[in-house]
Amino acid sequence: MSLTQDLAKSALEAIVDPVTQKPLGALGMLKRVDVAGTTVHAEIELFSHASSGREAIEAEAERVLTQAGATSVELTFSANVRTRQVTGEDPCPDVKNVILVMSGKGGVGKSTVAANLTLALHRAGARVGILDADIYGPSVPTMLGVQGRPVSADGKSIEPLERFGVKIMSIGFLLDDPKTAVVWRGPMLHGALQQFLQDVHWGKLDYLILDLPPGTGDVALTLSQKIKVTGAVIVTTPQEVALMDVYKSISMCQKLNIPILGVVENMSYFMDPSGNRNEIFGRGGGEKAAEFAKAPLLAQIPMDSLVREWGDNGTPVVQAQPTSTVAKAFKELAERLSDKITLALNESYGGVAPTEGPKRLKILR
């Protein structure tokens, strides 16, 4: 049997996307198939740039096309990220996903997670922005090595600053002295957040990551009134004492109808030079928080001095040392989070109940 366009197309369409557990054909993920002799070019559109299913789809496509008689397979991947619900009043309708990074507690690594997540998503190919809404201690400017005052080209919208290809806005850019941040309360805070979402020229973004201050009551409440966010990522550390505050922020999200996309356990363990895993802060915090939130534990990020050193140096470790173990943990977080967003948003697109496909792939989670 010789390889035909139809044969190649149906072989590819039957591949099951490991993230949604549905065949590529049913999901409209196969965008183009060209067969020239025994060479196949195909374009597959993923639901996110960082999709954990990409490698498995690639391997399966090679396998089924070779079986169908192809001698050369060239695949192009693109991504069309799902969009949160956007109403007429939305302050930033061109931003597909708004993700809150939060925790009841300070010092657990919210800003570190927000900055590295931003860069991991960007490095996977997505268009990403980060909004530092921590009025008490804006640290994104330091972590991303950006300073300066945003300018307005038209007197209406504010241009965000940019570094490493991501758009950055911080309350810190507007303060002469970061210590004055403490007085930003109530109406000023509401106004500032509104401006940051509405008047900052974010352009078209796949993800806007918001680094929230600890004890996020005010900010989360304001946000939930102004915008339909995709959801929240809760950051915790492994020890029991951190949990009470983390539980409070989870319940607050639940009360405000902010979906919890998952939990990140930061400073989970420390690998000593002889390769032993030390759980210096205890264990179980991430799992307990995830259970309480009825959400997945998306990542366990090790304690690694590279994180602090590069954070202080203005280049997050994901960018500075992308092949390090800790950078890989952040990369995996980006994959799992974007898969979770795909699933959560697909549900509102009419459901993606798992189907038993004939060529069911291993789930990479």
* Partner whose footprint covers residue 178, from Mg ion, ligand ADP, none (CB < 5 to 8 Å by kind): none
CA of 271: how far to CAs of 24, 109, 274, 305, in Å?
40, 18, 8, 11
111 is a contact residue toward Mg ion (CB under 5 A): yes
CA of 280: how far to CAs of 264, 269, 291, in Å?
17, 6, 22
In the bound state with ligand ADP, the residue whose beta carbon lies nearer, of 128 and 333, is 333
Instruction: Output the smallest distance, CB 186 to ligand ADP, in A.
Output: 22
Instruction: Output the smallest distance, CB 305 to ligand ADP, in A.
Output: 6
State phi, psi for 247 to the nearest 5 degrees: -60, -40
The span from the CA of 214 to the CA of 227, in Å, is 20
In the bound state with ligand ADP, the residue whose beta carbon lies nearer, of 72 and 313, is 313
* Sole window of 6-14, 104-112, 170-178, 312-320 interacting with Mg ion (rule: CB under 5 A): 104-112
216 is a contact residue toward Mg ion (CB under 5 A): no
Instruction: Output the smallest distance, CB 212 to ligand ADP, in A.
Output: 9
State phi, psi for 206 to the nearest 5 degrees: -80, -40
Instruction: Output the smallest distance, CB 184 to Mg ion, in A.
Output: 15
**Which three-class secondary structure state does DSSP give residue 111?**
helix
103 is a contact residue toward Mg ion (CB under 5 A): no
With beta carbons less than 8 A apart as the criterion, state whether 62 and 56 touch. Answer: no
**Residue 172 has which token pair?**
């810190």
> What letters, b where the CB count within 10 A reaches 16 and e where it falls short, cover 97-127?
bbbbbbbbbeebbbbbbbbbbbbbbbbbebb
In the bound state with ligand ADP, the residue whose beta carbon lies nearer, of 257 and 305, is 305
* Partner whose footprint covers residue 127, from Mg ion, ligand ADP, none (CB < 5 to 8 Å by kind): none
Q: Which residues, including other chains, have CB under 8 Å from residue 219's CB and lie 6 or more apart?
A: 133, 135, 189, 193, 212, 213
Within residues 295-334, the interface with ligand ADP by CB under 6 A covers 301, 303-304, 307-308, 311
In the bound state with Mg ion, the residue whose beta carbon lies nearer, of 174 and 343, is 174
Residue 165 sits at the vertex; the CA angle it makes with 163 and 167, to the nearest 5 degrees, is: 70
In the bound state with ligand ADP, the residue whose beta carbon lies nearer, of 8 and 234, is 234
Instruction: Output the smallest distance, CB 201 to ligand ADP, in A.
Output: 26
The span from the CA of 225 to the CA of 296, in Å, is 26
How many residues interact with ligand ADP (rule CB under 6 A)?
Answer: 16
Within residues 122-141, the interface with Mg ion by CB under 5 A covers 134, 139
- The single-letter code of the amino acid at 89 is E
In the bound state with Mg ion, the residue whose beta carbon lies nearer, of 53 and 141, is 141
In the bound state with ligand ADP, the residue whose beta carbon lies nearer, of 41 and 163, is 163
Q: Which residues, including other chains, have CB under 8 Å from residue 55's CB and lie 6 or more apart?
A: 364
* Partner whose footprint covers residue 44, from Mg ion, ligand ADP, none (CB < 5 to 8 Å by kind): none
Could you tell me where the DSSP H helices lie in 234-304? Answer: 240-255, 285-293
Nearest residue to Mg ion by CB is 111
Instruction: Output the smallest distance, CB 112 to Mg ion, in A.
Output: 8
In the bound state with Mg ion, the residue whose beta carbon lies nearer, of 111 and 300, is 111
Within residues 78-137, the interface with ligand ADP by CB under 6 A covers 106-112
Picking from 346, 359, 354, 298, the residue whose alpha carbon sits closest to that of residue 120 is 298
Contact string (CB under 5 A) for Mg ion, positions 283-302, x = contact: --------------------
The footprint of Mg ion (CB under 5 A) covers 110-111, 134, 139
